Amino acid sequence: MVLALSILISPIAIQAAVTVETDQTAKIIAASKQSHGFMDWVYDADSGQLFMEVKQLNQPFLLITSLPQGVGSNDIGLDRGQLGNSRLVQFERLGPYIVLRQLNPNFRANTQSTAEKKAVKEAFAESILWRGKTVEGKTTLVMMNDLVINDLHGVVDTLQQTKQGSYHLDQSRSLVLPEGIKSFEKNADIDVLLTFNGSQAGQYAKQVTPDANFISINMRYSFIALPELGYTPRTYHPMSGYLSDSYLDYAQPITNSVKQWHLLRHRLKKINLGSAPSEVIEPIVYYLDTGAPEPIRSALLEGARWWSTAFEKAGFINGFNVEMLPDDADPQDMRYNVIQWVHRATRGWSYGSVITDPRTGEILKGHVTLGSLRVRQDHLIARGLTAGWNDRTAANKAAMNLSLARIRQLAAHEVGHTLGLDHNFSSSSNDNASVMDYPHPYVALNQGKIDISHPYSVGVGAWDDFTIKYGYGEYDPQQNPAKQQQLQIESALMQGLRYIGESDSRSQDASQIYASLWDNGSDAVAELVRLGKVRRAAIEGFNHRALLGDQPLGELSDAFVPIYLLTRFQINAAAKLIGGANYSF
């Protein structure tokens, strides 16, 4: 097996300021050698001021904000590990100032003509994110506190949008964290403690904060070098099953569309180029948060590793792997693709986020957020279904098996998003062809008894194999790549595979008859009838044994509600047969 090379590099030593009678910058950096990394930081421990040595002017890079520490509320949404937007930026000198300009890659002219590029650049606005005054000397420094002690992540807007009160950034309670100042070869980080002062706090803010008038969290600014040359963007097709990015290219011929699309994917190259199977130059490796306990940890590893078979079938030998995150590694470090185990006060969504190169769609980091309370909800449902079993040992074992089966599927699903894949909500009606659907547990009746022995499919499906081959597979260079991709799509359709994504499935008025959420079966009506019988049996057998040993009887309703509503999503699927439509891309 090809193993990922260690990517841990010791952080640059943070430089303390001492005062000597030399030029201004020497007073700051005296007695310390100049740091070497993607960015050079100097931190004055006495004043708490962060400086950057000015050396990268007019050189684009990525700026990302993230939350090493979150708020802890699903309803607010500021989770631990949350990534902000990828910003294409560059430092520029304007007179006595250094400014940080956010470039606008949404409008381009992909041409050799300087004049055409200039015409597009001057037609659309850009954004100045910050202006800093330089400290001149043998080395030019710029003070950075005004940039990083700033709400670039949009915390205030999020609190306002979720109706949690009126907040503002409190500069007097915010500071640069010395231990969070790091610089490596191709990325650099600054961690700050930000406090948001507010009034009339909402219920969710009060629920998770000791004093809701002051919400204090850690925010990270990551400065990331653009990837090396060698990545070839792949054109997006609606039937591909991928997430996508788009831009307007004004250099396109009149006979072509100005709007151009590329799908999102990681860089993955074979040692031996071509369509034949080969070992890879550098595999895609994901790292699991060590905060996930057993037996959940093993289930997450197993489910996430399902993707290795899809990459093998696409011709990438040992092209994908999942390992435990090293103890001294930082899950927010952009060099790691991470599966993070995130706690909240209440149950909520899990999701997959990515850092991408906005110029090409190349995924530079996948970051999966798994809500820790999901598995407990699945266990609650399983206990409700098996409350009528007299064999309590078997019931407890079955409930645990269902919970872990669901968490395996969830790990595969969210990792799929960070590989670039969109939802496929027609999978459940198509022989469970994809882990990118929302699966409802399959509950059977065996001689009148509830049976949950096979609640979820195991492994990725035929649709998932197709998507990985389509997005990542290498083609014969002697043939037209676009033609080969089109043949792949035609082959998938010939196999009977279906794809209906997010926009045609989730809303209540979505009418595609084969695309629903949390449903099962190729015949929605037959499955509704079958599941109705299961529901009746589960309700008839329901009793206090659905509770955990230390729970009061007053909480029995929490376990009963999911059983009572067991058919609600299948009803939605069946209702689409009245006036619905069957269509595809």
Q: Give the up-direction half-sphere exposure of residue 378: CA atoms within 13 A in the CB hemisphere.
A: 28
How far from chain centre, in Å, is Cα 351? Answer: 6
pTM, rounded to two decimals: 0.92
Which of these, 489, 420, 473, lies nearest to 313 by C-alpha position? 473
The residue behind tokens 């949950």 is 452
Label residue 555 by pLDDT band (50, 70, 90): very high
Provide mean pLDDT across the span 218-237: 95
Asked if residue 295 has a cis previous peptide bond (ω within 30° of 0), the answer is yes
Provide mean pLDDT across the span 237-248: 96
Q: At what angle do helices 462-472 and 481-494 cross, to 10 degrees?
A: 180
What are the tokens at 116?
Answer: 């055409």
**CA gyration radius, the chain:** 27
Instruction: Tell me what pLDDT residue 8 has.
Output: 36
Which of these, 332, 338, 322, lies nearest to 370 by C-alpha position? 338
Instruction: Tell me what pLDDT residue 144 has.
Output: 94
Q: What are the residue ranges of helices labelled H in 314-391?
A: 374-385
What are the tokens at 542?
Answer: 């329901």
Could you give phi then psi for residue 492, rounded to 5 degrees? -60, -40
pLDDT at 554 over 70: yes
What are the tokens at 489?
Answer: 């799509």
pLDDT at 34 over 50: no
User: What order do you get walking across the sheet with 259-263 strand by strand?
Assistant: 107-108, 244-249, 259-263
Instruction: Tell me what pLDDT residue 478 has.
Output: 77
Residue type at position 517: L
Which of these, 133, 71, 63, 76, lies nearest to 102 by C-alpha position? 63
Instruction: Tell me what pLDDT residue 26 has.
Output: 64
Instruction: Tell me what pLDDT residue 4 has.
Output: 41
% of the chain surpassing 90 pLDDT: 85
What are the tokens at 150?
Answer: 């700033």
The secondary element (H helix, E strand) that includes residue 536 is helix 524-541
Provide mean pLDDT across the span 463-476: 94
Instruction: Tell me what pLDDT residue 28 has.
Output: 60
Strand-pairing partners, residue 175, are: 193
Q: Give the up-direction half-sphere exposure of residue 241: CA atoms within 13 A in the CB hemisphere.
A: 34
At residue 180's C-alpha, the angle toward residues 174 and 181, to 5°, is: 105
Strand-pairing partners, residue 178, are: none
pLDDT at 25 over 70: no
Cα distances from 59 to residues 53, 93, 114, 223, 330, in angstroms, run 15, 12, 18, 12, 27
Label residue 349 by pLDDT band (50, 70, 90): very high
Could you give phi then psi for residue 543, rounded to 5 degrees? -160, -170
What span, in angstroms and rounded, lies between the C-alpha atoms of 127 and 262? 24
pLDDT at 503 over 90: no
Q: 175-210 burial, b if ≥16 CB within 10 A, otherwise e? A: bbbeebbbbbebbbbbbbbbbbbbeebbebbebbbe
What span, in angstroms and rounded, lies between the C-alpha atoms of 177 and 550? 42
Whether the Cβ atoms of residue 211 and residue 198 lie closer than 8 Å to each other: no
Torsion, CA 240, CA 243, CA 248, CA 249, rounded to 10: -50
How far from chain centre, in Å, is Cα 40? Answer: 29
The secondary element (H helix, E strand) that includes residue 279 is strand 278-279
Provide mean pLDDT across the span 285-292: 97
Instruction: Tell me what pLDDT residue 275 has.
Output: 83
Label residue 55 by pLDDT band (50, 70, 90): confident
What span, in angstroms and rounded, lies between the C-alpha atoms of 556 and 561? 9
Q: Which of 25-29, 78-82, 438-442, 541-545 has the lowest mean pLDDT?
A: 25-29
Q: Give the up-direction half-sphere exposure of residue 129: CA atoms within 13 A in the CB hemisphere.
A: 21
> Which pLDDT tens digit goes with each residue over 118-145?
999 999 999 999 999 888 878 889 999 9
The CA-to-CA distance between both ends of the chain, in Å, stands at 38
Provide mean pLDDT across the span 86-103: 96
> Which pLDDT tens digit goes with each residue over 148-187?
999 999 999 999 999 999 999 999 999 999 999 999 999 9
How far from chain centre, in Å, is Cα 149? Answer: 25
Output the average pLDDT for the chain: 92
Label residue 36 by pLDDT band (50, 70, 90): low
Q: Residue 158 carries which DSSP code? A: H
Instruction: Tell me what pLDDT residue 35 has.
Output: 55
Q: Residue 545 carries which DSSP code? A: G
Q: Residue 350 carries which DSSP code? A: -
Torsion, CA 72, CA 74, CA 76, CA 80, rounded to 10: 40
Instruction: Tell me what pLDDT residue 16 has.
Output: 35
Whether the Cβ atoms of residue 419 and residue 307 lie closer than 8 Å to each other: yes
pLDDT at 115 over 70: yes
Instruction: Tell me what pLDDT residue 3 has.
Output: 37
Instruction: Tell me what pLDDT residue 479 has.
Output: 80
Instruction: Tell me what pLDDT residue 140 has.
Output: 87
pLDDT at 103 over 70: yes
Label residue 508 by pLDDT band (50, 70, 90): confident
Q: Give the up-direction half-sphere exposure of residue 505: CA atoms within 13 A in the CB hemisphere.
A: 24
Q: Residue 137 carries which DSSP code? A: S
Cβ contacts of residue 243 below 8 Å, gap of 6+?
Answer: 263, 264, 417, 420, 421, 422
What span, in angstroms and rounded, lies between the C-alpha atoms of 439 and 425? 9
Cα distances from 265 to residues 169, 476, 521, in angstroms, run 36, 20, 31
